[in-house]
Chain A
Amino acid sequence: MTLDPKIPSGPLSDKWDRHRFDSKLVSPANRRKHTVIIVGTGLAGASAAASLGELGYNVLSFCIHDSPRRAHSIAAQGGINAAKNYQNDGDSIYRLFYDTIKGGDYRSREANVYRLAQTSVNIIDQCVAQGVPFAREYGGQLDNRSFGGAQVSRTFYARGQTGQQLLLGAYQSMMRQVAKGSVTMFAQREMLDVVLIDGKARGIICRNLVTGQLERYVADAVCLATGGYGTAYYLSTNAINSNVTAAWRAHKRGAYFANPCFTQIHPTCIPVSGDDQSKLTLMSESLRNDGRVWVPKNAGDKRPASEIPEAERDYYLERKYPSFGNLVPRDVASRNSKAVCDEGRGVGDSGLAVFLDFQNAIDRLGHATVAGRYGNLFDMYKKITDEDPYTVPMRIYPAIHYTMGGLWVDYNLMSTVPGLHVLGEANFSDHGANRLGASALMQGLADGYFVIPYTLAHYIASTPVEKATTDHAAFAESEDNVQSRIDRLLSVKGSKTPRALHRELGHLLWDEVGMSRTEAGLKRALARIPELREEFWQNVSVPGDANNLNKNLEYAGRVADYLEFGELLALDALHRTESCGGHFREESQTPDGEAKRDDDHFAYAAAWEFQGVGKTHELHKEQFVFENVKPTQRSYK
């Protein structure tokens, strides 16, 4: 199968307009007759459900949480980008587009990224109309800040709870449609399979997490907005129920998985403290606007920060990257933290941390201003570490945070399975090999509010589907498939917990497919993962039964999927012998240790086709064509 990204023709700035005009419409009177399933209620899923419900489609919405408002998007702290240029500091749609393409290290599609920049301005308008309480200036206008790797101030924020406020806005809009009857909400449902009829996505199988029953739902089209797979690494900043299950099960039904090795490691997280730790906490990137990153100049210097004189400190980001300083993109900041720790200059008990120091900012701006900007983050830090960042520098270390890879989609957000659309972090589309701060929220809402209402209409209007009910044989086949996997999980009755096995996989992925990757390490991972998978199916313990709330059973199912997915993650990383963005192959670096791309051989999206568990995936390539920007070696010096 050749991958057709379906990029509209014409000049970059006209593509989306032209495409919308060329797209077919569903007449208002007919929309009610079309059912759309949307799995996931994060920013992408909730905004899509609300918008499609408003348009009059019959929307069925699903999430694993007890309320749609609890989707992982709620935890986003720092902000959302938009090319509003309210600050008159040189921003424009083209600049946001350019920054995003460059930030992604030229591994994304120009047309998608341009559309993202275009719709960004509408997102802010929409959210304000909903009553999202963004931060304001004294004159009453919206406030902006600059954020990770941007030289303009284009980030909108609501204290340190931007994701919460954006999600509540989308959730409330969706609840309005629930009240009107156009959206039906199915909370506490885990999608465990996509049902294909005639090769088209026509439904899903869910497990009702409260009763344990398997349920069938039929529709004209299916949208997945189920988030990223960062929890494959066990410890990450993601919420602990985040998973790859929905995407992976769709992959097994024919949706190609693209660029899984493009994972983002966030530079500013609270370091790991012990073996029992269940997740890592992000300290928002906005802290790097005023905090200065440093380590001691000398390896092994274990003095407390206050006893290390200025002359013996190395503000290594400021030193190496004079023009971006502490604001270099995430991949660059993370790799540099690892490098100084590898040199033995890391701080704290573990030596796996660097300082993020606010003394300068407090001296310059005063305690009150710093507290106003970061108070809640400082409080959170203190709760977790028992240290006060107003007086002692924070200790931070990189952690897995976001996944750029995901199910392959074309310009219409449709996967390689007709009718199966993928939105938000679950798709691979817009961030290339590295995502810039504050652009995931933007992408999720762009997909849901402003892209899918057009492209899904076109699909529905142009694709006749046969009338089907959940009695169709395809549903029975799918349900059997799901049931037998659940039965298998319960029947092992071993002695190792899913968590222990997950932790082991996570450590392996972090060590070998983490911040820095080598051929030898990736091969070790590829040899070890099948063994772990084998051990899982021989020795996992899943007590209880399937017909009621069984959190451990849910979790075991997700871990089982990670044990399959992890192999693809490592395989993709092994095949891409270049370094780009968050994917750093030690074999491919510039003399000063920066990521060295290989555009001649790797300017493509690697879209993998499932061949069976343990069998090597088949690689398909979507070549990226750059007509407007010229890929250059990124430099933040």
Chain B
Amino acid sequence: MNVHLKVWRQAGPAAPGGLVDYTATGVSADMSFLEMLDSVNETLIARGEDPIAFASDCREGICGTFGVMVDGRPHGPDPCTTVCQLHMRRYNDGDTIVIEPWQARAFPLIKDLVVDRTAFDTIIQAGGYTSVNTGGAQDANAILIPKTVADEAMDSAQCIGCGACVAGCKNASAALFTSAKITHLSLLPQGQMEAPTRVVAMIEAMDTSGFGGCSNEGECEAVCPKGISLKNIATMNREYRKALFANR
């Protein structure tokens, strides 16, 4: 099949950008979305033209590198699916697909579909860890954790840091990303000791990194490819109130 693409091209942060038309020809149903883009780039490169810049790595939905808006929706049409796991069988011959980068003040554009998500690292640096040095940890089974709690922590820890939650939010808030880490660690005994300082520091880092505020509309949950639940934000807010109260 052939599909028509409208792809955001922008040579650099200061350069003007716009949608450019391409046609991907000979697309097979088994191709992934990225393989379809590869094929467009192959044609461009063979002609000596600048290929569309995008970054991808594992192509299995776990590294979080590739993320774009597909027809206005982060990661495209399928729920709980990263766009690298989207396959072209989802499309019909002659369809038109609009592909744009994440848009958020905290994610400045680098080129075409590539944005800078360093702000997520900054949020983790503010407290997304337990303060233990290597060596000297007690025996792993000395910390008992009920299976249900471990499972819940894992549900939050599954976040791949792709940024879809920010891109899908009209305020470009990073609340879902931040709260997933806070929830993961605050559920576990290992993380509880630092919970009050962590939540305050991480929220502050989130605010100063240029992300918008959360108005609880749930678009982030709807577009998250890993199904991270809105409950995480509720947990974060609860932890935050607890921390402020404790710090008073």
A residues lining the B interface (CB < 8 Å): 47, 50-51, 54, 65-70, 72, 74-75, 84, 86, 122, 124-131, 133-142, 158-159, 161, 164-165, 168, 171-173, 175-176, 178-179, 185, 187, 210, 239-241, 273-274, 276-279, 281, 380, 383-384, 386, 449-450, 453, 493, 495-500, 541-544, 548-552
For residue B116, which residues in chain A have a CB less than 8 angstroms away from its CB?
Answer: 66, 210
Q: What string of 1s and 0s marks CB contacts (under 8 Å) between B57-91 and chain A?
A: 11111111100000000000000010001010100
Known: A51-B134, A125-B138, A541-B45. 15 other contacts (CB 8 A): A67-B117, A67-B161, A133-B157, A136-B145, A136-B147, A158-B154, A165-B157, A179-B125, A239-B59, A278-B32, A278-B59, A453-B134, A548-B11, A548-B111, A549-B110
For residue A187, which residues in chain B have a CB less than 8 angstroms away from its CB?
Answer: 118, 121
Q: Are B129 and A133 in contact (CB under 8 A)?
A: no
Partner of B129, one of A175, A544, A551: A175
Q: How far is the CB of A45 from chain B (nearest CB, A)?
A: 14
Q: Are B134 and A54 in contact (CB under 8 A)?
A: yes
Partner of A210, one of B63, B110, B141: B110
Residues of chain B in range 86-137 having any CB-CB distance to chain A below 8 Å: 87, 89, 110-111, 114, 116-118, 120-121, 124-126, 128-135, 137
Q: Does B146 contact A (CB under 8 A)?
A: yes
Alpha-carbon distance between A542 and B132 when the two chains are bound, in angstroms: 46
Partner of A66, one of B12, B53, B117: B117
Q: Are B140 and A125 in contact (CB under 8 A)?
A: yes
Q: A72-B58, A277-B35, A543-B45 are in contact. Are A66 and B118 (CB under 8 A)?
A: yes
For residue B246, which residues in chain A have a CB less than 8 angstroms away from its CB?
Answer: none
B residues lining the A interface (CB < 8 Å): 11-12, 28, 30-32, 34-35, 38-39, 41-42, 44-46, 48-51, 53-65, 81, 85, 87, 89, 110-111, 114, 116-118, 120-121, 124-126, 128-135, 137-141, 143-147, 150-151, 153-154, 157-158, 160-161, 184-185, 188, 190-191
Alpha-carbon distance between A277 and B34 when the two chains are bound, in angstroms: 10
Q: A136-B150, A239-B57, A240-B56 are in contact. Are A65 and B144 (CB under 8 A)?
A: no
Q: How far is the CB of B24 from chain A (nearest CB, A)?
A: 11
Alpha-carbon distance between A496 and B50 when the two chains are bound, in angstroms: 14
Alpha-carbon distance between A579 and B199 when the two chains are bound, in angstroms: 56
Alpha-carbon distance between A141 and B145 when the two chains are bound, in angstroms: 7
Alpha-carbon distance between A125 and B145 when the two chains are bound, in angstroms: 14
Q: Are B121 and A68 in contact (CB under 8 A)?
A: yes
Q: Are B11 and A128 in contact (CB under 8 A)?
A: no
For residue B87, which residues in chain A have a CB less than 8 angstroms away from its CB?
Answer: 383-384, 386
For residue A171, which residues in chain B have a CB less than 8 angstroms away from its CB?
Answer: 124
For residue B46, which residues in chain A have a CB less than 8 angstroms away from its CB?
Answer: 495-497, 500, 541
Alpha-carbon distance between A550 and B145 when the two chains are bound, in angstroms: 47
Q: How far is the CB of B241 from chain A (nearest CB, A)?
A: 22
Alpha-carbon distance between A542 and B49 when the two chains are bound, in angstroms: 9
Shortest Cβ distance from A551 into B: residue: B53
The DSSP consensus for interface residues of chain B is: loop
For residue B161, which residues in chain A have a CB less than 8 angstroms away from its CB?
Answer: 67, 69-70
Partner of A172, one of B57, B128, B139: B128
Q: Are A172 and B190 in contact (CB under 8 A)?
A: no
Q: Are B45 and A178 in contact (CB under 8 A)?
A: no
Q: How far is the CB of A623 from chain B (nearest CB, A)?
A: 34
Alpha-carbon distance between A449 and B137 when the two chains are bound, in angstroms: 12
For residue B144, which residues in chain A have a CB less than 8 angstroms away from its CB?
Answer: 139-141
For residue A386, which residues in chain B have a CB less than 8 angstroms away from its CB?
Answer: 87, 89
Q: A497-B46, A552-B51 are in contact. Are A380 and B58 (CB under 8 A)?
A: no
Q: A175-B121, A541-B45, A552-B45 are in contact. Are A134 and B150 (CB under 8 A)?
A: yes
Q: Are A84 and B140 in contact (CB under 8 A)?
A: yes
Shortest Cβ distance from A158 into B: residue: B154
Alpha-carbon distance between A158 and B188 when the two chains are bound, in angstroms: 15
Alpha-carbon distance between A124 and B137 when the two chains are bound, in angstroms: 9
Partner of A131, one of B49, B59, B139, B184: B184
For residue A273, which residues in chain B have a CB less than 8 angstroms away from its CB?
Answer: 30
For residue B138, which residues in chain A have a CB less than 8 angstroms away from its CB?
Answer: 125, 129
For residue A278, which residues in chain B have a CB less than 8 angstroms away from its CB?
Answer: 32, 34-35, 38, 59
For residue A136, which residues in chain B have a CB less than 8 angstroms away from its CB?
Answer: 145-147, 150-151
Alpha-carbon distance between A173 and B137 when the two chains are bound, in angstroms: 14
For residue B134, which residues in chain A have a CB less than 8 angstroms away from its CB?
Answer: 47, 50-51, 54, 126, 173, 449-450, 453
Q: Are A130 and B145 in contact (CB under 8 A)?
A: no
For residue B50, which residues in chain A have a CB less than 8 angstroms away from its CB?
Answer: 543-544
Alpha-carbon distance between A142 and B39 when the two chains are bound, in angstroms: 46
For residue A551, which residues in chain B have a CB less than 8 angstroms away from its CB?
Answer: 51, 53-55
For residue B53, which residues in chain A have a CB less than 8 angstroms away from its CB?
Answer: 549-551
Q: Are B143 and A128 in contact (CB under 8 A)?
A: yes
Q: A134-B150, A383-B85, A548-B12 are in contact. Are A541 and B59 (CB under 8 A)?
A: no
Alpha-carbon distance between A453 and B49 when the two chains are bound, in angstroms: 48
Can you list 16 A-B contacts with CB-CB less than 8 angstroms, sorted by A residue number?
A65-B57, A66-B114, A69-B64, A128-B137, A128-B143, A131-B130, A131-B188, A133-B188, A136-B147, A141-B141, A159-B154, A175-B129, A176-B125, A240-B57, A276-B31, A453-B134
